[in-house]
Amino acid sequence: MKFVDEAPIHVEAGKGGNGCLSFRREKFIAKGGPDGGDGGDGGSVYLVADESLNTLIDYRFQPRYRAQNGQKGSGKNCTGSKGEDLLMPVPVGTTVIDSDTGEQLGDLTEVGQRLKVAQGGFHGLGNTRFKSSVNRAPRQTSDGSEGETRNLKLELKVLADVGLLGMPNAGKSSFIRAISSAKPKVAGYPFTTLVPNLGVVKVQKHRSFVVADIPGLIEGAADGAGLGIRFLKHLTRCRFLLHIVDMAPYDDSDPEAQVRAITKELESFSPTLAKRERWLLLNKVDLLPPDEVDERCQALVKALDWQGPVFPISAMEQTGTAPLCGKIMTYLEDIWEEEAESEEAREREFNIQSAMASEVRERVETLRERRRSNKDDDDDDFDDDDYDVEVEYVR
């Protein structure tokens, strides 16, 4: 399966049918009067969230779509049939953006959710509509209006409750393997993970959450390095983040510097995302001398002045992962319960999601402008045609 998380498309709604110019003509009826019917409305274009899809690749190969036109009216006051609406299935989690204006038209986050992206043209009027007491034989009709035309950009972000982030080889894939049924590739070298992985964590019967493992980030990710923009944007869907840091790095790098580097990239990419609740997971503590684990963990937390929750774990040995999942589940259930009962909480989350979406678009446009202003730059980290990159998607 190929995973394409961006696709530009062009949609056209159907044109409304023209009205008919006709007069009633029957035997023994010399002047039957006007009987021209109206045309039919043009079909509209809808996007529909479909749970059976997980990629936008079909829209890569067929970027143009058009709904059916309305039929013209006919005599005997017959109205033309309405154009059939065009229903376009997209994966759940698709964001729809008007490419010409930059406006976000909608977010398809629930199965079966529909979004009208192009309004069909209005029907034309037949000459019957123009009959009056002073104009008994009107020869006036109106044409149907053109359907709406839009250039759209579809963006797919994985739908997950919890997002994992960290440097390459921090142990994110090992962590998601330890707590869920997902089996991403695990190896002892950086950039083993190349695409987002989803895992469902089942804490108890009827109690579960979804966690997203995105590829490791590097310094400069917010500026497009290592396809950082493609990966960072998947975190904007998550309700909170788990920041995994390698406490025993193979290259003897400084864990504190790694945490600060990722934090800096988050702030550069989206200040709103950087303010999301973030828990610090100190991974691979099993590789440290047992008598130094507490001391090193406390020293790192103190150096970072970390104010959020901290959990020393070993993803490979599954040490500390079960209690952590229980606390994550409780935290998420509190969020869901609050939003179910409070309109204010739902509106607050909507505003946060909108702010992150706006910041992401601004960041992308800034990078594109930078590329256009320096055409001689040989840096290929960011490309206007980034959506063309195909990678394998593992779920």
pLDDT, position 229 = 62
pLDDT, position 266 = 82
Percent of the chain with pLDDT over 70: 84
Q: Are 22 and 126 in contact (CB under 8 A)?
A: yes
| CA 216/CA 226 separation, integer angstroms | 9
Phi, psi for 204 (deg, rounded to 5):
-145, 175
Q: Are residues 204 and 136 in the same domain?
A: no
Q: Of the candidates 97, 132, 156, which is a domain's last residue?
A: 156
Q: Are residues 104 and 142 in the same domain?
A: yes
Q: Structurally, how many domains does the chain consist of?
A: 2
**Confidence (pTM):** 0.64
For the cut 60, the answer to whether the pLDDT of residue 381 exceeds it is no
Q: Are residues 146 and 223 in the same domain?
A: no
For the cut 80, the answer to whether the pLDDT of residue 332 exceeds it is yes
* 385 band by pLDDT with thresholds 50, 70 and 90: very low
Beta strands 45-50 and 86-91 are: parallel
Q: Of the candidates 156, 180, 201, which is a domain's last residue?
A: 156
Q: Are residues 150 and 207 in the same domain?
A: no
Strand order in the sheet with 64-66: 64-66, 6-12, 149-156, 94-98, 104-108
pLDDT, position 1 = 37
Mean pLDDT computed over 46-67 = 86
Percent of the chain with pLDDT over 90: 25
Mean pLDDT computed over 336-360 = 85
β-sheet bridge partners, residue 392: 2
Q: Are residues 220 and 366 in the same domain?
A: yes
> What residue numbers bound the domain in which 183 lies?
162-392
pLDDT, position 42 = 95
Mean pLDDT computed over 170-179 = 82
* 360 band by pLDDT with thresholds 50, 70 and 90: confident
For the cut 80, the answer to whether the pLDDT of residue 363 exceeds it is no
Mean pLDDT computed over 37-66 = 88
| CA 394/CA 185 separation, integer angstroms | 10
For the cut 70, the answer to whether the pLDDT of residue 346 exceeds it is yes
pLDDT, position 264 = 84
Distances (CA, A) of 299 to 82, 169, 266, 311: 70, 22, 23, 14
pLDDT, position 122 = 95
* 117 band by pLDDT with thresholds 50, 70 and 90: very high
Q: Are residues 180 and 70 in the same domain?
A: no
Residue 98 CA, chain-centre distance (Å), reads 14
For the cut 70, the answer to whether the pLDDT of residue 192 exceeds it is no
Q: Of the candidates 156, 171, 191, which is a domain's last residue?
A: 156
pLDDT in tens, 217-248: 645 444 444 445 666 777 777 888 899 998 88
pLDDT, position 38 = 93
Q: Are residues 9 and 120 in the same domain?
A: yes
pLDDT, position 222 = 45
**Residue whose pair of structure tokens reads 């709904």 in the numeric block:** 67
| CA 168/CA 245 separation, integer angstroms | 10
Residue scoring higher pLDDT (368 or 346) = 346
Task: Classify residue 227 as left (phi > 0), alpha (psi -120 to 50) or beta.
Answer: left
pLDDT in tens, 123-162: 999 999 999 888 888 989 999 999 999 999 998 876 778 8
Q: What is the CATH number of the domain that holds 82?
A: 2.70.210.12
Name the strand (E) or helix (H) holding 198: strand 197-204
Tokens of 245: 């840091």
Beta strands 278-283 and 240-246 are: parallel
Residue scoring higher pLDDT (78 or 32) = 78
Q: What is the CATH number of the domain that holds 173?
A: 3.40.50.300
pLDDT, position 390 = 35
pLDDT in tens, 250-303: 777 888 888 888 888 888 888 888 888 889 999 888 888 888 888 889 999 899
For the cut 60, the answer to whether the pLDDT of residue 388 exceeds it is no
Q: Are residues 184 and 130 in the same domain?
A: no
Cα torsion 348, 349, 354, 358: sign: positive
Q: Are residues 317 and 237 in the same domain?
A: yes
